[in-house]
Amino acid sequence: MPSSDDELRHLKQALEIPSGQEWEGAIRLLIRLMGEDPARQGLRRTPLRVKQSLQFLTGGYRLDPAKILKRRFAVKHDEMVIVQGIDFFSICEHHLLPFFGTCHVAYLPDQEIVGLSKIPRVVDAFSRRLQVQEQLTTQIAEALNEHLKPRGVACVMEAQHLCMMMRGVQKQNTRAVTSAMLGVFRTSEKTRAEFLTLIRSR
């Protein structure tokens, strides 16, 4: 049974940001395990480039949805607000391969609204992490629900997954669709149908 000191040490290690040398050493090891020579001319700078790429693609860990949604406005508007066709890119946590597509988000304000540009920022904050699409969809909806306190939130995501396209079943035209409905979007069939009709008409 590990002691509390051991648990604290492991937690601290997990939260430490790896140095550039650790990143590049790990990537060189991967290249060798693939059967290549990381010292080959075309691969010499690959560890640095991959490190920079992965740091960008997982930048969502360094974004706080609470801060993104902190500035809100008291506006008399009780109709649906929709931001649709938000492009997103993420990385499958099972195979470390990309999945990408579009996200449609709606909410019914109660007393406050948020700047429209903040909603794609929230999508980025959660998508630029190691993810599964089902969890990603729920996280976006729950963050808006928690910080805006609206009467309801809806999120629909449509994506293509390279882990299905390049390996496994190898079905290049398959799309995965996930949804999260909270508040009146869950309880009111009419509200939910209005949202789904509007995003399908684009």
* Helical ranges in 149-188 per DSSP H: 162-165, 184-187
The answer to whether the CB of 115 falls within 8 A of the CB of 83 is: no
Of the given ranges (20-24, 93-97, 192-196), which has the lowest mean pLDDT?
Answer: 20-24
Of the given ranges (52-61, 75-84, 106-115, 166-175), which has the lowest mean pLDDT?
Answer: 166-175
Residue 94 is a catalytic residue: yes
Residue 133 is a catalytic residue: yes
Residue 155 is a catalytic residue: no
Catalytic option among 36, 55, 84, 95: 95
pTM: 0.87
Catalytic option among 36, 111, 158, 163: 163
Which H or E element spans position 9? Answer: helix 4-15
How is 31-75 classified by DSSP, letter by letter?
HHHTT--TTSGGGTTHHHHHHHHHHHHTGGGG--HHHHT--EEE-
Query: Is the predicted pLDDT of residue 195 greater than 70, yes or no?
Result: yes
- The structural domains of the chain, with segments of one domain joined by +, span 4-57, 70-200
Catalytic option among 93, 134, 146, 172: 93
Q: How confident is the model at residue 108 (pLDDT cuts 50, 70, 90)?
A: very high
Residue (of 45, 71, 55) closest to 147 by Cα position: 71
Q: How confident is the model at residue 17 (pLDDT cuts 50, 70, 90)?
A: low
Q: How confident is the model at residue 145 (pLDDT cuts 50, 70, 90)?
A: very high
CATH number 3.40.50.20 is the correct assignment for the domain at 70-200? no
Question: pLDDT averaged over the chain?
Answer: 91
Catalytic option among 92, 103, 131, 155: 92
Residue 104 is a catalytic residue: no
| Residue 89, strand partner residues | 100
Catalytic option among 10, 21, 52, 94: 94
Question: Which segments within the chain are labelled E, that is strand?
Answer: 72-74, 81-92, 98-108, 112-114, 130-131, 152-161, 176-183
> Alpha-carbon distance 153 to 151, whole Å?
7
Architecture of domain 4-57 in this structure: Orthogonal Bundle (1.10)
Catalytic option among 103, 104, 133, 139: 133
Average confidence (pLDDT) over 101-114: 96
> Alpha-carbon distance 200 to 182, whole Å?
20
Residue 134 is a catalytic residue: no
